[in-house]
A and B are shown apart, each in its own frame.
Chain A
Amino acid sequence: MRKSWLPVGFLWLVYTILILALVKYVNVLPTQWAEEAQVVDEAFLLLMYLAAPVMAMVLAVMTWGMIAWRSDGADREDGPNTHTNRIVVTTWLVLTSALAIGVVINPGFIGLAEIRGEPSSDYVIEIEASQFFWEVTYPNGATSFDELVVPAHMRVRYDVNSTDVHHSFWVPAFRVKIDAVPGITTRVFATATAEGSIEDDINLRIQCAELCGAGHAAMAMPVRVVSDAEWNEYITSIGGSG
């Protein structure tokens, strides 16, 4: 009866190590351009690490089943008459509940506090979405329809609005996203960490992330991160009261 515990346990260990190694050494995440991106990526990796033993267990049972538990024919013998096993079920419930509680705490609530908290901000930039373009309004009142320029190392609060249907303000490089809802103002914070532009990374763009009609796919706008001084110069140069 116990003869499968050992090989399945071994396979489980091997798969767990393999998956952990994959998560550690194969980077699937794009470049981070904001402090918020670090929070999201950490949460992502933590969940991957926690998922490793769970996936490994299913894979181990499947593998060993295909190798060792094969049998043929409809008239073949029945397997053991085990209806349940209280110890296994209880252990399983305790472990999966503990895992769920763990995930709720971290990255759950810890990530939530960091990503949706209401920190103070250095600047407020208004974003207004319409079918199918973005309008950026800088603190000095200057507006732009063709790019979003943001200062590096400054926490910017984006006040997001829509004039027609729902859109979603998303800068993949910053990892933050909030829907643009007609009639209310939603907000999201992002602190860019390095200077760069869409030439450096395709993810330095605003991409509409809520289906908004025919032009949805094309509803994108380049994002450029510059130094604080350059940024102040830029917004003065395009107008507004300075």
Chain B
Amino acid sequence: MKYLVRAIVFGLVGYVSGVWLTLAVRGGDPTDEVAVVFGFILALLGWLAGIGGLEAFGRQWIGKTPKLSEDHTWRRYFQFSGDHKVIGIQYGVTLFAVLLIGGLVSMIMRIELAAPGMSIVDLEEFNKLMSMHGILMIAVAVAGIIGAFGNYLIPIQIGAADMAFPRLNALSFWLVPPVAIGLLSAPLLGSFDAGWTAYAPLSVTNDSGQILFNLALIAFGLSSILGGLNILVTVITMRAPGMTWGRLPIFTWAGFATALLTFSVTQFFAGALTLITMDRVAGTNFFGPEVGTGILYQHIFWFYSHPAVYIMVLPGLGVVLELVTTFSRKPLFAYKTTVGALLTIVGLSVVVWGHHMFTSGMADFLHGPFMILTEAISIPTGVIFLSIMGTLWQGKLWFRAPLIMTFGWLFNFMIGGITGIFLADVATDIYLHDTYFVVAHFHYTIVGGAIFALLAAFFYWFPKVTGRMYNDKLGSIFAVWVTVAFNFTFMPLFWVGINGMNRRVGDYPEAYAAANKFASISAFILGASFLLFVGNMLWSAVKGPKAGANPWNARTLEWQVSSPPSHHNFLSQPVIVGHPYDYGGDGSPHVIFPDAEEPPDEVSLEEASV
């Protein structure tokens, strides 16, 4: 803990000195945005130095050996550790906490929206809550699966001892808490009310909290880019002998596809936010109200933010594909075509951003091409559905919580995908754009597609990470509960959208009252389901029965090592000799350990957790 305390102290000192230096140079007020910018930058550096980033990177610059946390106790979770499993758990816990905070904010929003008129907040406060909910949840969806499970599993699934760049990996994670702190402290400066999209020029002229939004998201972008780079290099260079591209587990493929995107498009969001920040503090005029370049901002923004939808959803696809093969005990149907589909989605996702802008006032000749390209994405997405259904086909379906969550995912993502067609079509989008139809649609794709997969992943890999089994009865009840409550919450929102209710509003005409009340009550029931989930996870992590190495009897590499895996994952070099999903085949394994002295199953937990 002492490093964490040091990080907080150094961070605060950094903030104060940044503000003080600014005031010393140019005078003014401590809440001036320029002062906040320099405060934030020095706070970020102070935080990283405090947590141990200087020992990890700085020592090398002065010719000394870099130092990473070597702690093997629980304290390593609060330190600058390069261990990918520690980092995975750090990401998982941090982002789950952010998910709960974002969820609580949405509960306040649903209380306000339960009836027309204003009850607990005013219109402006509502916009600020909505913006906060949006960006917190976007952060969870962008980094949740890939940060937690990508970090934890990808090295194990490919037979590597760690990620390619452990120190960079630690840096990626330790950039995340300041992002959360920055966003959550924005209300001190009046918060931000321009939505998570931060459209200019509104985001140039609104309250100063926007500056913290910009800075936090730029830091988050840096974290994403470094994380993406790390995954790319790891998968390309660190695969065990025999792990050909054609034998790569599908979750790793999905993580690789995601990393291709995060590594190559995140810069655009960070760049757009940098321009807005310059407009606010440096007197530039990229997007000022009088110059009419707001449409340009939207182009840059969506050039990142449409691929970002796939950054959120691709890891979810990986999880779901992984789960259907384990729980139907069949090979992944059309593996090669599915991998091709994942990579096609990556390619297409960077050329479809214009469908967010059919009503933006952009040139009309762009409508046609963007419509064609957007509709084209339905073809690889359809292949993913084919692969899932083909794998389930006449399988031996084992309905445990992960598979029930997967069925919930399948239903939700189907609705999300189909309603997406209405938003890709110009005629219907011109009507539905910026209505609650869009709100319902993207909750079906992002909550239904990414968060449901995240929850399924929590269940599926829980025994691997903790060494203990969660309570499956409670898990199954949760899976059904969350699926039903989710659909009851968001299905009515399609209807209010189609019937003329616009999004991002704290108040609405009487005509939409009944449906909103229904949605609000369902939302509270949805929120309550998370108590059951958290309770189950916490209790089981401490008291759950020992799970053993391979409770699901799965074939991929992470299940062939102890639960949790030993410090460098493998006690001896794994050699990949077969396909990861060859269920029902001649019984030949996916992996062998030629030098193993004893089967990994017999490694005791005490030994393994050292």
A interface list, Cβ under 8 A from B = 1, 3-4, 28-30, 39-40, 43-44, 47, 51, 54-55, 57-59, 61-62, 65-66, 69-85, 88-89, 92-93, 96-97, 99-100, 103-104, 107-109, 111-112, 114-116, 164-166, 168, 170, 172-173, 175-179, 181-184, 186, 202-203, 207-218
Q: Which residues of B contact A71 (CB under 8 A)?
A: 329, 395-398
Q: Which residues of B contact A182 (CB under 8 A)?
A: 201, 289-290, 292, 294
Q: Which residues of B contact A186 (CB under 8 A)?
A: 361
**Residues 497-517 of B contacting A (Cβ, < 8 Å):** 498-500, 502, 504-511
Q: Does B359 belong to the interface (CB within 8 Å)?
A: yes
Given A58-B389, A73-B398, A166-B294: A43 touches B428 (CB 8 Å cut-off): yes
What residue of chain A has the Cβ atom nearest to residue B295's Cβ? A181
Q: Which residues of A contact B122 (CB under 8 A)?
A: 214
**Shortest distance between the CB of A103 and any CB in chain B (Å):** 6
24 contacts between A and B (CB under 8 A): A4-B394, A40-B427, A43-B425, A55-B414, A77-B329, A81-B331, A81-B582, A85-B333, A92-B383, A100-B375, A108-B371, A111-B428, A112-B426, A166-B360, A177-B431, A178-B430, A182-B201, A182-B294, A184-B361, A202-B510, A207-B500, A209-B435, A211-B195, A217-B505
Q: Which residues of A contact B202 (CB under 8 A)?
A: 165-166, 211-213
Give complex CA distance A57, B414 in Å: 10
**Shortest distance between the CB of A172 and any CB in chain B (Å):** 3
**Do A76 and B361 touch (CB < 8 A)?**
no
Given A78-B583, A116-B367: A210 touches B434 (CB 8 Å cut-off): yes
Q: Does B604 belong to the interface (CB within 8 Å)?
A: no
What residue of chain A has the Cβ atom nearest to residue B512's Cβ? A202
**Do A207 and B329 touch (CB < 8 A)?**
no
Given A164-B289, A175-B431: A202 touches B500 (CB 8 Å cut-off): yes
Binary interface profile of B, 361-379, with partner A (CB < 8 Å = 1, else 0)? Answer: 1001001100110011011
Q: Does B421 belong to the interface (CB within 8 Å)?
A: yes
**Do B498 and A214 touch (CB < 8 A)?**
no
Q: Which residues of B contact A55 (CB under 8 A)?
A: 414-415, 418
B interface list, Cβ under 8 A from A = 122-124, 126-127, 193-195, 197, 199, 201-202, 205-206, 289-295, 328-331, 333-337, 359-361, 364, 367-368, 371-372, 375-376, 378-379, 382-383, 385-386, 389-390, 392-399, 407, 410-411, 414-415, 418, 421-422, 425-428, 430-431, 433-435, 495, 498-500, 502, 504-511, 551-553, 579, 582-585
From B329, B379, B427, B499, A100 is in contact (CB under 8 Å) with: B379
Q: Which residues of A contact B295 (CB under 8 A)?
A: 181, 184
From B422, B428, B551, A74 is in contact (CB under 8 Å) with: B551
Give complex CA distance A148, B529 in Å: 47
**Shortest distance between the CB of B282 and any CB in chain A (Å):** 20
Q: Which residues of A contact B378 (CB under 8 A)?
A: 96, 99-100
Known A-B contacts: A74-B552, A92-B383, A179-B361. Give 20 more (CB < 8 A).
Answer: A28-B498, A40-B427, A44-B498, A61-B389, A65-B397, A73-B398, A79-B583, A81-B331, A103-B375, A111-B425, A166-B360, A178-B361, A181-B361, A184-B361, A202-B511, A209-B435, A211-B194, A217-B502, A217-B508, A218-B123
Given A89-B334, A89-B337, A177-B434: A164 touches B396 (CB 8 Å cut-off): no
What residue of chain A has the Cβ atom nearest to residue B194's Cβ? A211
Give complex CA distance A172, B501 in Å: 9
**Do B422 and A58 touch (CB < 8 A)?**
no
